[in-house]
Structure 1
């Protein structure tokens, strides 16, 4: 398959040169970009064009291509140069500016250079299909240490979580019997949950909500490090208060010790992500994996599920429009109009409707 992709790339180069009469970067880089995108897709990776981020030198840099894991952590980068450039000179300039050196390809349509772990590991002529295939195999086969650690931690998490859950449930049962402040706080929270979430919420549901909160607060704290933002809503405040009554004398540290490698791997990966949108996607992936191990049925029953971005956006903008129309509150701007009117909002609405319909179909099946 790799040889077929490379041959297709070479054919595209010839076609671009034939019809454009030029071999400049702007013309020929499209062919290599298509090669990387196809190769990435086959490996369940995501190609992002001109993905901007900050270098260690505080420069805003933007490689021509960034390949991301589904965790939204970079696998590697690609930078195209013009055939008229001095390739080595251009590489030196980019590296001096702070371009990553863990896994990056520089190429000028004639020569490709692969740098991994701050050293050149392979240089080849791009017409040499065998060598180019080897270079791309090394590039896509690279695994960052934090990704390797995360995969290992997820596997260990699957093994350790049942024992942690059993310990938490046993300690919560004991707390209801022996810890009067906790029991009082739990009853207050149950009353609030019945009034604000669902009248059918039970004491058993409260116990599961507390467990989910205990296990996932570390994830929120390090993916979205916005101080106390995640503590500000009323339900979260009550859960934190309940947790404080429950966890005393180092119980939390001892109970969650087995899961620390998992949390450490999340912290290491989250530190690589600066975009708020990418953090949302990262959190989605983490939650999907967490609930796959934890208890998907309980998560669905308690409403602790990931809501697709299109639906959230539609709900927020729809509520904003209603507030503005009926109460003259909210964002007073031209874009704030009926979410079913206008191209931008119609697009959001249709995507939300399709996503919701698909989710409903899957749930029913």
Structure 2
């Protein structure tokens, strides 16, 4: 397969040169870009052009391309140069500007140079198919410490989480028996949850929400840049109060010690997040990994696999175009109500908010009155609540509770018996 991809690249490059009559970087680089895309696709990687980076000196730069893992962490980078350039001189110039040196290919239409771990490891003629194949295999086999650490941490998480869950459940049962303050806090939270989320919630739901909150609060803090906004959310605020009735200080640290490698890996990965889109993807990957370990049966029953962000944005753009064409209105306009019946982690609503960016007055009205979402499982409901509110706060510059998220099975509300 690798030789076929390289042969296709050489054919495409030759065709581009013949048709354009040029060897300019902006023209001929398209062939190598397609090669990187196709090769990366085999490894489950996404190619992003003009990928923005911040150097150690806080200077903003953009590499011509980056190959990213599903966590939106980069595997490596690519920088194209003109055939008339001195490639070695250009490499030195880029490194002086702070370009990454851990895993990057520099290329023109005749030569490719691979740098890894701050040193050149291979250069080859672009027409030498075996040498180019070797260079690309080295590039794509590179593994960042953060990715390796995350994979190892997820594997360890599967081993360690059951014991932590047993300890938490036993601890909460004991506190319920011996701690009047905790019982009062439980009762208060149940009443609040029944009022704010769903009247059908029970004591068992409260305990599961508390456990899930304890296990995921650090994840949220890192994904949302250590902001304390999530402590203003009406549900989260009460959960923090309930947690504070017994689970603080050394007890908390000791109980969660077994999961520290997982949290550390998340912290390292979260530090790489550079945009709203990456944050949404990262949140979904983390949630899927967490929930499939936390409650494998429910994850299998509910189908905890979410729509890729690219498809979500296509759906929004398409719906916006269709409503304008057929009804003379855009999604942002008044009296256009939008329902996400199975919101998961809230990506669809969050992407809608991004779509409406730049129209603050209309956005506020839409957010408070005409966006609606349902979720059937309590953990994604909680994640979605925090995610949607964080997205709105980041866009608007002010925090507002999202009033229209319901903890409910949408299919229970459509009167299926009337359709049979």
Mapped to 1, the partners of 2:354 and 2:30 lie a distance apart of 38
Partners of 1:81 and 1:106 within 8 A in 2: yes
Mapped to 2, the partners of 1:113 and 1:232 lie a distance apart of 51
Pick closer, same or farther for the CA change 1:240–1:96 going to 2, 3 Å.
Answer: same
Q: Mapping of 1:34-113 within 5 angstroms?
A: 34-113=34-113
- Once the two structures are TM-superposed, the CA of residue 271 in structure 1 deviates from its matched residue by 1.0
- Once the two structures are TM-superposed, the CA of residue 306 in structure 1 deviates from its matched residue by 2.8
- Once the two structures are TM-superposed, the CA of residue 52 in structure 1 deviates from its matched residue by 1.0
The corresponding residue for 2:255 is 255
Partners of 1:9 and 1:31 within 8 A in 2: yes
User: How many residues of Structure 1 are paired with residues of Structure 2 in the alignment?
Assistant: 329
Pick closer, same or farther for the CA change 1:331–1:208 going to 2, 3 Å.
Answer: closer
Mapped to 1, the partners of 2:354 and 2:2 lie a distance apart of 45
Q: Mapping of 1:112-123 within 5 angstroms?
A: 112-123=112-123
Mapped to 2, the partners of 1:315 and 1:96 lie a distance apart of 39
- Three-state SS of the structure 2 residue aligned to 1:115 is strand
The corresponding residue for 1:246 is 246
The corresponding residue for 2:208 is 208
Partners of 1:57 and 1:97 within 8 A in 2: no
Q: Mapping of 1:110-189 within 5 angstroms?
A: 110-189=110-189
- Once the two structures are TM-superposed, the CA of residue 313 in structure 1 deviates from its matched residue by 3.9
- Once the two structures are TM-superposed, the CA of residue 304 in structure 1 deviates from its matched residue by 11
Mapped to 1, the partners of 2:180 and 2:343 lie a distance apart of 32
Mapped to 1, the partners of 2:55 and 2:353 lie a distance apart of 36
- Cα deviation digits, residues 260-305 of structure 1 (max 9, x gap): 000001111111222232122111110110001001566769x997
Mapped to 1, the partners of 2:182 and 2:135 lie a distance apart of 60
Pick closer, same or farther for the CA change 1:331–1:91 going to 2, 3 Å.
Answer: farther
Partners of 2:101 and 2:115 within 8 A in 1: yes
Mapped to 1, the partners of 2:129 and 2:160 lie a distance apart of 46
- Once the two structures are TM-superposed, the CA of residue 51 in structure 1 deviates from its matched residue by 1.2
The corresponding residue for 2:348 is 310
- Once the two structures are TM-superposed, the CA of residue 119 in structure 1 deviates from its matched residue by 0.4
Pick closer, same or farther for the CA change 1:145–1:315 going to 2, 3 Å.
Answer: closer
Q: Is 1:16 aligned to residue 16 of structure 2?
A: yes
Mapped to 2, the partners of 1:34 and 1:8 lie a distance apart of 9
Partners of 2:78 and 2:106 within 8 A in 1: yes
Mapped to 2, the partners of 1:244 and 1:304 lie a distance apart of 32
With the length of structure 1 as denominator, give the TM-score of the two structures: 0.84
With the length of structure 2 as denominator, give the TM-score of the two structures: 0.74
- Once the two structures are TM-superposed, the CA of residue 165 in structure 1 deviates from its matched residue by 0.5
Mapped to 2, the partners of 1:286 and 1:145 lie a distance apart of 18
Mapped to 1, the partners of 2:248 and 2:178 lie a distance apart of 13
Q: CA RMSD in A?
A: 2.6
The corresponding residue for 2:271 is 271
Pick closer, same or farther for the CA change 1:86–1:122 going to 2, 3 Å.
Answer: same
Mapped to 2, the partners of 1:256 and 1:203 lie a distance apart of 23
The corresponding residue for 2:286 is 286
Pick closer, same or farther for the CA change 1:226–1:254 going to 2, 3 Å.
Answer: closer
Mapped to 2, the partners of 1:305 and 1:171 lie a distance apart of 32
Structure 2: gaps spanning 5 or more residues? 304-340, 372-409, 412-420
Pick closer, same or farther for the CA change 1:76–1:109 going to 2, 3 Å.
Answer: same
The corresponding residue for 2:379 is none
Q: Is 1:330 aligned to residue 356 of structure 2?
A: no
- Cα deviation digits, residues 197-219 of structure 1 (max 9, x gap): 11110000000000000000010
Mapped to 2, the partners of 1:317 and 1:145 lie a distance apart of 35
Partners of 1:48 and 1:65 within 8 A in 2: yes
Pick closer, same or farther for the CA change 1:312–1:296 going to 2, 3 Å.
Answer: farther
Structure 1: gaps spanning 5 or more residues? 333-337, 340-358, 361-365
- Three-state SS of the structure 1 residue aligned to 2:72 is coil
Return structure 1 stretches of 4+ with deviation > 2 angstroms: 296-301, 303-318, 329-332
